[in-house]
Structure 1
Amino acid sequence: MTTFKQWGITPALLDILDKQGIVKPTPVQEAAIPALLSGEDVIAQAQTGTGKTLAFLLPIIEKIRVDRSDAQALIITPTRELAIQITAEARKLTNAKEGLSILAAYGGQDVERQLRKLKSGTQLVIGTPGRLLDHLRRGSLKLGSIKMLVLDEADQMLHMGFLAEVESIIRMIPRSRQTMLFSATMPDNVKRLAKTYMDQPKDIRITETSRVTLDSIQQIVVEVTDRGKQQALIEMIRTNRPYLAVIFCRTKRRASMLNEALQEAGFASDELHGDLSQSKREQVMRAFREAKLELLVATDVAARGIDVEGVTHVFNYDIPQDADSYIHRIGRTGRAGEKGIAVTFASPRDIESLRLIEKGISARLERPGGSSSSKTVDRARNVSASRDASRSERGRTKSEAGGRDKFRRGESKDSSRGRRNSTSGSRDDRSGGQGGESRVARGGEGRGPAGPTDTKRGPGGQSKPDGYKRGPGGQGRPDSVKRGSGGQSRPDGAKRGQGGTRNSGSDRGVRKGR
């Protein structure tokens, strides 16, 4: 069996890996790490969740010199989330080298803090193209000493339109560097980038692992109309009971609207997209990782970089644009040998896109119905039940569970007040009788027997539509405002009896004397 030790990895690094339970290299690590340690350029194609991050971090940490304060390695990522994730993984390895400094440079973070850290010296920089260019223009980041360059998720980086920025950064780095390019897919523009800026790279393709990753995920398509999609999603969530789920939408607006609808339905959900501040995005991801949220509604900005343990389901609320995007989305579940469920909602206009996705993955997605329907539901429930059991084994605290349950019940102050109003209103309906004095009226004459259902009449008063009340000589007022003698108008649901005690009442059927 291949081990990290046989590659001459520093014992301190081996100890850190051992404490994390990392003993055997994954296929991409086994193929890439020896080549990177020997200084070769590497272009590696492997699916997300296969250990690519450690495949380039381990050689970088091993080769960085801590006796120098200049930047020696640069990792470029397409999204903030991925930069944060890689930085977190790198920090786990820093104890192996005292004095190793890491900087995460991405938009939305305090620039002054980044400037101070760059001034004091940092050997490893991890960042997004926009913020890296900002530092280069300021002169706060120098790339003249870079010996190792990583382009992570290169296909997504180019798909997001960062080609010009990436090339601008590469041109500022000495040609004598070692270049590592990691990508889940290998479209033509990525191949051209590699040919232009890499020196006889070793080509690594872990295609069988990609197949295993997909095989660990049950893939379902639900054919719906656009109008019925939201209700279909809610029913699927209630049926499948995911432990953690990511729901992908096409646009930021749709993600926000869907998140609002899910919260109103009583689910513990939040949204993740580019319009949020960095602090809010970090807050949302922290809550999701800690299982304080059950559902994360996201745009494709989150398709790369979300590596959260316990994601049992992925819902494609809006169908992905192509097979590659589909693979990246559903790769949030079924990770590290676990099983997962991926549900794609397809309207009639999505059928052609669905056909292309199925062709791209060389598989047909399951259609619920017939004998397969019950199996689909059973398997979904089994995945969630397995996750619930593993949550107990990991010792999730009762407070976290209680927080989610409270969120699901949706017991807001407004809804509680609404229930009290309804209850009090029912009592008030029964309180007004012939010649009686209503509990909610202030010091007036009791009203006689009620007239027809839609009218009320006081002594000498005129018939009025339902919702208007009149005492002797009084003026009709909308039902949303009631006034006792000498009293002040009160908002709907708040009446004041004699003595100033406010009672809650319903909007209809309150008979009171004046």
Structure 2
Amino acid sequence: MSFKELNLNKAIVKAIDEAGYTEPTLIQERTIPLVIDKKDVIASAQTGTGKTAAFALPILQLLFNKQDAPKKGKKIRALVVSPTRELAAQIGKNFQIYSKYTNLRTTVVFGGAGIEPQIDILKKGVDIVVATPGRLLDLHKQDVLNLDYIEVLVLDEADLMLDMGFIDDVKKIERLCPEKKQNLLFSATMPFKVEQLANSILNAPVRIEVTPTSSAAKNVSQILYYVPKRNKMELCLHLLRNTIKGKRILIFRRTKFGVDKLESTLTKNGYSAERLHGDRTQSERQTALNKFKHAEVNILIATDVAARGIDINELDAVVNFDLPNVPETYVHRIGRTGRAGNFGKSYSFCSADEKSYVKSIQQLINVQIPVEDNHPYPLDPKAKPIVHKKQGSKYKKGRKGEGSKKKKKRWY
């Protein structure tokens, strides 16, 4: 099937051709006709399946007839709500590529960047806004953003939005939009919370499921290393020196502190690495990402939230320095590599306290991950997880200390 067959007009098809897309992906093929038909949609699709175009292209098609500004200026007719700044920036960029030969204008608004330039653009008038929830509500409070004319509302990465605690903001944004509008919800996983949100917002939605999350990326070979927690750093350096030398690598850690610690160790050992997590400013995150994309550094260390939805082509390997406790997250992580017909590798480090995570990951993906025993830091199979016990008081409960035992003169 070609994009022309999806009833997209010439201006949009021309931009798609120039961007190098020849035929629609499965999610695009299923979603685009429904959105053009003005149906509400709930879609389950992982990152890397082409879902941004699945909602961006039909939205541009629907707004195409209203692209020329009336005398009072353009009104915001489509709103895309996204959990992270990086994802919002990427969606905005895609909209601009696809609308190249139209007069439709898109802007992106998110926190961590100056609010004034965003206000200026909004005052000039735009058709489509891509936003993170916090900044969107700030701008609405300041009366520079009018949601009364919204025709299409898109909630992207809904599961992550709820994980990050945006549920109330999302509901508030939905209430600020007109009651009669088209709603599209995209989510990589469909936990109960997402289902609840969909039921409260969507109107008789059509369900689309593309590659259930349990199908791990086909072009990625997975390897598991059992290693004591204290030796993970050494194993990482060992791999960088021998196995994945000079390759483009994305390393995942569970915490921001862990990301910083690993970056500092790698830098001391002569590697060029950048880090990505929520405590860095927007410009720092953008700089880190650009350096990695332009091959100025070949290692990017990130937390899951910061790396969600980032599109990095030609990534050689993913290293799970810390295993995720949510099995779906593992699928997302390794799906960063092996995209667009390329082959990739994933290396996962498992310490004694992470063995249960491996079990649930393998149950989800229905694959036994091959184990590499031939490395300098093997984990003793009998090793028990390290439990940090709190030191209690040296006195028994209810016993008095030495000081109070001494006979004291009482006032009574």
Q: Secondary structure of 1:171's match?
A: helix
- 1:27–1:254 CA distance, 2 compared to 1 (3 A): same
* Match of residue 66 from structure 1: 67
User: For structure 2, which runs of at least 5 residues remain unmatched after alignment?
Assistant: 376-412
Q: Secondary structure of 2:48's match?
A: coil
Residues 1:235 and 2:238 are matched in the alignment = yes
Q: Distance in 1 between matches of 2:338 and 2:307?
A: 14
The counterpart of 1:97, out of the listed 83, 98, 102, is 102
Structure 1 residue 207: deviation in Å?
Answer: 2.4
Q: Distance in 2 between matches of 1:184 and 1:147?
A: 24
The counterpart of 1:88, out of the listed 93, 96, 99, is 93
Q: Deviations over 1:186-225 (max 9, x none)?
A: 11111111111001111001127973x5221111211111
* Match of residue 248 from structure 1: 252
Matched residue count? 368
Q: Distance in 2 between matches of 1:270 and 1:317?
A: 15
Partner AA of 1:119 in structure 2: K
* Match of residue 202 from structure 1: 206
Residues 1:299 and 2:298 are matched in the alignment = no
Structure 1 contact 245–295 (Cα < 8 Å) conserved: yes
Structure 1 residue 302: deviation in Å?
Answer: 2.4
% identity of equivalent residues: 39
Q: Distance in 1 between matches of 2:134 and 2:352?
A: 39
The counterpart of 2:333, out of the listed 329, 350, 353, is 329
* Match of residue 7 from structure 2: 8
Q: Distance in 2 between matches of 1:191 and 1:316?
A: 29
Structure 1 residue 112: deviation in Å?
Answer: 0.3
Q: Distance in 2 between matches of 1:95 and 1:49?
A: 23
* Match of residue 77 from structure 1: 82
Residues 1:350 and 2:351 are matched in the alignment = no
Q: Distance in 2 between matches of 1:172 and 1:346?
A: 46
- 1:206–1:223 CA distance, 2 compared to 1 (3 A): same
Q: Secondary structure of 1:319's match?
A: coil
Structure 1 contact 250–299 (Cα < 8 Å) conserved: yes
Q: Deviations over 1:54-109 (max 9, x none)?
A: 000001111222224011000011111101111111111222212x2211111111
User: For structure 1, which runs of at least 5 residues remain unmatched after alignment?
Assistant: 374-514
Residues 1:365 and 2:369 are matched in the alignment = yes
* Match of residue 319 from structure 2: 315
> What aligned pairs does 1:16-165 form with structure 2 within 5 A after superposition?
16-64=15-63, 65-68=66-69, 69-98=74-103, 100-165=104-169
Residues 1:271 and 2:272 are matched in the alignment = no
Partner AA of 1:319 in structure 2: L
Give the root-mean-square deviation of aligned CA atoms.
1.5
Structure 2 contact 251–321 (Cα < 8 Å) conserved: yes
Structure 1 residue 7: deviation in Å?
Answer: 2.2
Q: Secondary structure of 2:367's match?
A: coil
TM-score where L is the length of structure 2:
0.86
Any runs of at least 4 consecutive aligned residues in structure 1 with deviations exceeding 3 A, and if so which? none
Q: Distance in 2 between matches of 1:305 and 1:131?
A: 19
Q: Secondary structure of 2:341's match?
A: coil
Structure 1 residue 369: deviation in Å?
Answer: 3.4
Q: Distance in 1 between matches of 2:8 and 2:20?
A: 16
Q: Secondary structure of 2:316's match?
A: strand
Residues 1:225 and 2:238 are matched in the alignment = no
Partner AA of 1:334 in structure 2: G
Q: Distance in 1 between matches of 2:170 and 2:245?
A: 42
TM-score where L is the length of structure 1:
0.70
Partner AA of 1:158 in structure 2: L
Larger RCO (CA within 8 A; separation ≥ 6): 2
Larger Rg: 1
Partner AA of 1:81 in structure 2: E
Structure 1 contact 243–310 (Cα < 8 Å) conserved: no
Q: Deviations over 1:457-482 (max 9, x none)?
A: xxxxxxxxxxxxxxxxxxxxxxxxxx
Q: Distance in 2 between matches of 1:303 and 1:330?
A: 12
Q: Distance in 1 between matches of 2:123 and 2:226?
A: 56
The counterpart of 2:219, out of the listed 216, 219, 227, is 216
Partner AA of 2:223 in structure 1: I
Comparing 264-273 with 202-211, greater Cα deviation is found at 202-211
